[in-house]
């Protein structure tokens, strides 16, 4: 069903990267600006991230020896340093997720460059290395994002629903490894109902959410794909939801032949395969279109 799966290390059938976007209350400030400070309910909801859920998840994943990749906006790292120290203490990778969780598509190229630089500088202060991976806040990529990431030396992006296996994005000056996410493996779709975030969905039981996540994993395990979660500690790190995650880890481990890795490790593996000529991923030239295809409004 997947026509060109990459060879995974040690003959694993699939790769799994548990990734969390540690947004904390950056999303409240980004969405509501100066009004955010008068929204204690929304702020408290998201401050659950650094104070409660992130430490809980770090210990849960460490207990099962499964690595984490955490995309952290620069402002969040500056505001909640203990949470970032905890991620690093447990061997997690820090990925770039904007500075104030700005919408990249709402920024000029210069503003976006500044957010990328600022976020990178903050994360580097914690880990000693520049973040190598990026996930666009709100999946809100701009027309400039990939050019900027390539120019700034990022290795990978994990913002698209583009494929079931890694692909390459090539702008003619350089390449990025794209580590796509299964479209249904975002926890907002399952668990979030919030007027503050303009996101009113029916809340699923953890059992129902787990069914969705597990079905994606089982299919990718069968056919050799890449499974990446896009979860948020304030959403999936609450007790009932965290228990569901633990059940999923146990399910994956009981099936066996799974490569659990950070997204940085997966990106390294793909780059090595390509450099050694051992596997050729699908390559997309970016931008996908250099001019509008049609303008039906005229």
Complex with Zn ion: residue 73 or 225, whichever CB lies closer: 73
CA nearest neighbour of 60 among 202, 184, 236: 236
Q: Which stretch binds Zn ion (CB under 5 A): 14-22, 191-199, 210-218, 235-243?
A: 14-22
The answer to whether 21 contacts Zn ion (rule: CB under 5 A) is: yes
Binding mask 82-121 for Zn ion (x = CB under 5 A): ----------------------------------------
Instruction: By CB under 5 A, tell whether 23 contacts Zn ion.
Output: yes
Nearest approach in angstroms of CB 22 to Zn ion is 8
Question: In 3-state terms, what secondary structure has residue 231?
Answer: strand
CB of 125 to Zn ion, least distance (A): 20
First to last CA, the chain: 42
- Contact between 25 and Zn ion by CB under 5 A: the answer reads no
Backbone angles phi, psi at 199, to 5 degrees: -135, 85
Q: Give the binding range for Zn ion (CB under 5 A) out of 33-41, 50-58, 87-95, 129-137.
A: 129-137
DSSP state of 81: H
State the sign of the Cα–Cα–Cα–Cα dihedral 37, 41, 44, 46.
negative
> Closest CB to Zn ion among 21 and 102?
21
Residue number with CB closer to Zn ion (23 or 284): 23
Taking CB under 5 A as the rule, does residue 186 contact Zn ion? no
Q: For residues 6 and 137, which CB has a smaller minimum distance to Zn ion in the complex?
A: 137
Burial bucket for residue 293 (CB in 10 Å: 0-12, 13-18, 19+)? exposed
| Type and span of the H or E element at 109 | helix 109-127
From 132-140, 155-163, 173-181, 278-286, span contacting Zn ion (CB under 5 A): 132-140
Per the structure block, which two tokens stand in for 230? 């896009």
157 touching Zn ion, by CB under 5 A? no
Closest residue to Zn ion in the complex (CB): 21
According to CB under 5 A, which residues from 136 to 155 bind Zn ion?
137
Question: What Cα–Cα distance (Å) separates residue 243 from each residue in 80, 180, 250, 256?
Answer: 25, 25, 11, 20
Residue closer to Zn ion by CB (options 23, 157) is 23
Q: In the Cβ-directed half-sphere of 53, how many Cα atoms lie within 13 Å?
A: 26
- How many residues bind to Zn ion according to rule CB under 5 A? 3
Calpha distance 83→71 (Å, rounded): 12
Closest contact distance (angstroms) between CB of 47 and Zn ion is: 15
Given the complex with Zn ion, which of 25 and 155 has the nearer CB atom?
Answer: 25
- State both tokens at 218: 């089982």
Burial of 173 (0-12, 13-18, 19+ CB in 10 A): exposed
**Interaction residues for Zn ion, span 267-286 (CB under 5 A):** none
Residues engaged in binding Zn ion (CB under 5 A): 21, 23, 137
């Amino acid at each position: 069903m997947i026509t060109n799966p990459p060879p995974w290390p040690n003959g694993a059938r699939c790769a799994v990267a548990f990734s969390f976007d540690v947004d904390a209350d950056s999303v409240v400030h980004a969405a509501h600006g100066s009004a955010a400070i008068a929204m204690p309910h929304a702020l408290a909801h998201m401050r659950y991230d650094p104070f409660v859920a992130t430490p809980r998840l770090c210990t849960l994943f460490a207990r099962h020896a499964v690595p984490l990749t955490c995309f952290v906006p620069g402002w969040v790292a500056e505001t909640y340093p203990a949470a970032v120290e905890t991620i690093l203490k447990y061997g997690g990778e820090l990925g770039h997720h904007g500075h104030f969780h700005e919408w990249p598509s709402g920024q000029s190229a210069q503003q976006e460059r500044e957010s990328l630089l600022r976020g990178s500088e903050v994360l580097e202060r914690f880990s000693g290395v520049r973040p190598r991976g990026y996930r666009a806040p709100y999946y809100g990529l701009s027309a400039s994002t990939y050019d900027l990431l390539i120019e700034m030396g990022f290795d990978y992006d994990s913002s698209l629903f583009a494929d079931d296996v890694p692909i390459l994005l090539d702008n003619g000056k350089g390449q990025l490894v794209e580590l796509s996410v299964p479209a249904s493996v975002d926890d907002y779709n399952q668990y979030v109902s919030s007027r503050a975030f303009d996101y009113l969905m029916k809340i699923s039981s953890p059992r129902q959410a787990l069914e969705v996540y597990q079905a994606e994993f089982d299919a990718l395990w069968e056919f050799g794909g890449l499974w990446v979660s896009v979860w948020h500690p304030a959403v999936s790190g609450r007790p009932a939801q965290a228990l569901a995650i633990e059940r999923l880890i146990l399910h994956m481990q009981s099936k066996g032949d799974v490569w659990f890795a950070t997204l940085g490790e997966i990106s390294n593996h793909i780059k090595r395969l390509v450099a050694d000529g051992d596997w050729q991923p699908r390559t997309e030239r970016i931008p996908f279109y250099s001019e509008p295809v049609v303008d039906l409004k005229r």
